[in-house]
A and B are shown apart, each in its own frame.
Chain A
Amino acid sequence: MSIRAVYIIPSEDAEIPIFCKYFPSVEVRCKSRFGQFYVKIPSEREFVKLLFIETGIKNGDVFVEERDNCEKEFSNPAFQLKTDFGILWPVIKIQHKKLIYCAITFEENFKINQQSGSMKLAFMASVTTCLEALNGLSQHVDNCTTSQEKIDRVELLRYVNCAFPYGRPVCCNPSVALNFSSTSWKGKVKQPAWNPLQYRGKSQVIFSIKEEIRCIQCNQSKNANPIDICGTVTCTSDVEGVSPEISVVLTNLHENKCGLLVNACVTSVETISASSTRLRFHPIKSQNLCLYKMKTVFPPPIIATFCMKVKEDIADITFKLKLQSGVRNGFQKLEAHIPLNCLITAVKPKCSQGSLTVASKNKLIWNIGTKLPSKTLEATLHAKAKLKRVLEKSSEQTITDSYFVDKEKQIVNANALSETVKTEYATVIFKILDYVYSGFKIDPQFVIVSTSSKVNRSVSCECYSGVYKIWNENTENVIDDLLEEQFERVLECN
Chain B
Amino acid sequence: MCDSEYLTILDDITLFCPGFVPEATSDIHCILDQLLKSLVEDESSAPKKLNLIYFLELKSNILCEEIGDVELVLATLKNVCNSSSGNQALLGQCLISSTTILLESSEKFLGAEFDRLFSQHVNLLLDYVNQSNCSENVYVRSVSADSLIEVELCYPLVLKPCLENIYALTVKELSAAHQQYTSLLSLMMKHSSASSQFGSPLWNTYPQLVFKSKFLGENNSAVVSSVYSNTQLVSFLVDQLPFCNPEGVVWIANHIIGMLLHNTELRASCRVLKPFFFSCVYTFNCAIFYLLLYLEKVFGRELFEEEEHNLLLRQLLLNCNHPSLSNSFQLVYLELLSDYLGRMCHQLKCIEDIRMVLTNNFDGPDIQLKKFILFSHILKHKNGSSKFLLQITNKIRREIKHNKGFKCKSVFIKALYKLLSDYEDVSHEEVSRLVVLASTEDISTTPFIVHFVRQVQTSFPASPLPALILTSLVNTYTQPNEHLSLEALSFVIDIFQEAVSNRCSIEGLKSILIYLYRHILCGVICKSLSWSLGHKMLKLCYFMMKEYNTTNFFYELSNVLQGFISKCENDDVQDRAQLYFCLLQSLSDKKLKAVLQGPRQTLPLTDDSTFHSQFYFQKLDKPILYLCKENQSTSSDETFKYIVESEEDIITAYKNFIEASSSCKKLVLKISIKLSQEYENLDCLEALAIFMESSENWGKVEPVLVGHYKEDNLSVHQSNDFVYTMICYPHYPLPTQLKVRAEFSLDNICHICPLSPFAIEFFDFFCVLPICGDDVKMEFFFEDLWKTIEDEFQSVVLLECSEVQARAFVKQKFNTFIVGENDKGYHVGIYLPPGNHLLMRYYFQSSKTIVKFVTDYIYVLSWTNALFKEFA
Interface residues of A (CB under 8 A from B): 1-2, 22-25, 27-29, 31-33, 56, 59-65, 67-72, 74-77, 92-96, 108, 120-123, 125, 127-129, 131-133, 135, 153-154, 157-158, 161, 165-166, 168-173, 176, 180-196, 212, 214, 216, 226, 228, 230-232, 243, 257-269, 291-293, 394, 396-398, 400-401, 404-405, 407-408, 410-412, 415-416, 419-420, 424-425, 466-467, 476, 478-480, 482-484, 486-491, 493-494
Contacts and interface: CB of A to CB of B under 8 A. Distances in A.
21 contacts: A28-B104, A28-B154, A29-B153, A63-B409, A122-B335, A132-B247, A158-B50, A166-B146, A168-B149, A170-B180, A170-B248, A171-B245, A182-B88, A192-B244, A232-B324, A261-B315, A398-B532, A408-B485, A415-B482, A476-B398, A478-B398
Interface in B250-293: 250-251, 254, 279-280, 282-291, 293
Contacts of B373: 74
B241 to A, nearest CB: 11
A440 to B, nearest CB: 13
A138 to B, nearest CB: 10
Give the dominant DSSP class at B's interface. helix
B104 A161 contact: no
Contacts of A483: 358-359, 388, 391-392, 395
Contacts of B594: none
Contacts of A170: 146, 179-180, 183, 245, 247-248, 251
B19 interface: no
A487 B282 contact: no
B322 A293 contact: yes
A63 B451 contact: yes
Contact of B533 (A396, A476, A484): A396
A130 B338 CA distance: 20
B462 interface: no
B358 A226 contact: no
Nearest to A77: B328
Given A56-B406, A264-B280, A191 B174 contact: yes
Main secondary structure of the interface of A (DSSP, over half): mixed
Chain B CB within 10 Å, residue with most, of A231, A291, A410, A416: A291
Given A61-B444, A193-B178, A226-B361, A266 B282 contact: yes
Given A70-B417, A129-B287, A231-B324, A64 B406 contact: yes
* Most chain B Cβ neighbours within 10 Å, of A75, A191, A415, A478: A191
A190 B178 contact: yes
B54 A157 contact: yes
Nearest to B335: A121
Interface stretch (B32-40, B522-530, B540-548): B522-530
Given A70-B414, A172-B246, A216-B361, A165 B452 contact: no
Interface in B396-427: 398-399, 401-402, 404-407, 409-410, 413-414, 416-417
B801 interface: no
B362 A181 contact: no
Contacts of B73: none
Contact of A193 (B16, B179, B355): B179
B388 A487 contact: yes
Contacts of B417: 70-71
A168 B146 contact: yes
A68 B286 contact: no
Contacts of A264: 246, 249, 280, 283, 285, 288
Given A258-B314, A261-B319, A264-B246, 9 more contacts: A24-B103, A176-B245, A191-B176, A194-B245, A396-B487, A398-B532, A407-B527, A408-B486, A478-B402
B369 interface: yes
Contacts of A75: 335
Contacts of B147: 165-166
B657 to A, nearest CB: 61
Interface stretch (B121-129, B131-139, B506-514): B131-139
A125 B202 contact: no
Given A24-B61, A397-B530, A190 B174 contact: yes
A485 to B, nearest CB: 10
Interface stretch (B219-227, B377-385, B705-713): B377-385
Contacts of A182: 88-89, 139
Interface string B590-623: 0000000000000000000000000000000000
Interface residues of B, number: 149
Contacts of B404: 61
B323 interface: yes
B195 interface: no
A211 B323 CA distance: 11
Interface of B: 15-16, 47, 50-51, 54, 57-58, 60-61, 88-89, 92-93, 96, 99-101, 103-104, 106-107, 133, 135-136, 138-139, 142-143, 146-147, 149-150, 153-154, 174-176, 178-180, 183, 199, 202-204, 242-251, 254, 279-280, 282-291, 293-294, 314-315, 318-319, 322-329, 331-332, 335-336, 338-339, 348, 351-352, 355, 358-362, 366, 369-370, 373, 379, 382-385, 387-388, 391-392, 394-395, 398-399, 401-402, 404-407, 409-410, 413-414, 416-417, 444, 447-448, 451-452, 455, 459, 482-483, 485-487, 490, 524-525, 527-533
Contact of A131 (B179, B180, B246, B286): B286
Contacts of A195: 176
B795 to A, nearest CB: 55
Interface hub of A32, A120, A193 (most chain B Cβ within 10 A): A193
Contacts of B394: 480
A226 B362 contact: yes
A180 B139 contact: yes
Contact of B254 (A1, A131, A408): A1
B279 A166 contact: no
A127 B332 CA distance: 8
Nearest to B450: A63
Contacts of B388: 483, 486-487, 489-490
Given A76-B331, A94-B328, A170-B180, A419 B483 contact: yes
Contacts of B245: 170-173, 176, 193-194
A401 B532 contact: yes
A476 B400 CA distance: 13
The winner among B314, B348, B487 for most chain A CB atoms within 10 A is B487
Nearest to A121: B335
B318 A166 contact: no
A265 to B, nearest CB: 8
B246 A32 contact: no
A76 B174 contact: no
Nearest to B106: A28
* 9 closest A-B pairs by CB: A407-B528, A122-B339, A63-B447, A70-B417, A193-B179, A185-B175, A264-B246, A77-B328, A261-B284
Contacts of A216: 361-362
A493 B383 contact: yes
A33 B370 contact: no
B289 A128 contact: yes
A188 B283 contact: no
A457 to B, nearest CB: 23
A236 B399 CA distance: 40
Contacts of B318: 258-259, 261, 293
A63 B373 CA distance: 21
A180 B322 contact: no
B563 to A, nearest CB: 17
B324 A24 contact: no
A463 to B, nearest CB: 14
B284 A262 contact: yes
Contacts of A243: 243
Contacts of A494: 348, 382-383
Contacts of A231: 324
Contacts of B455: 69-71
Contacts of A69: 451, 455
B395 A480 contact: yes
B328 A93 contact: yes
Nearest to B321: A293
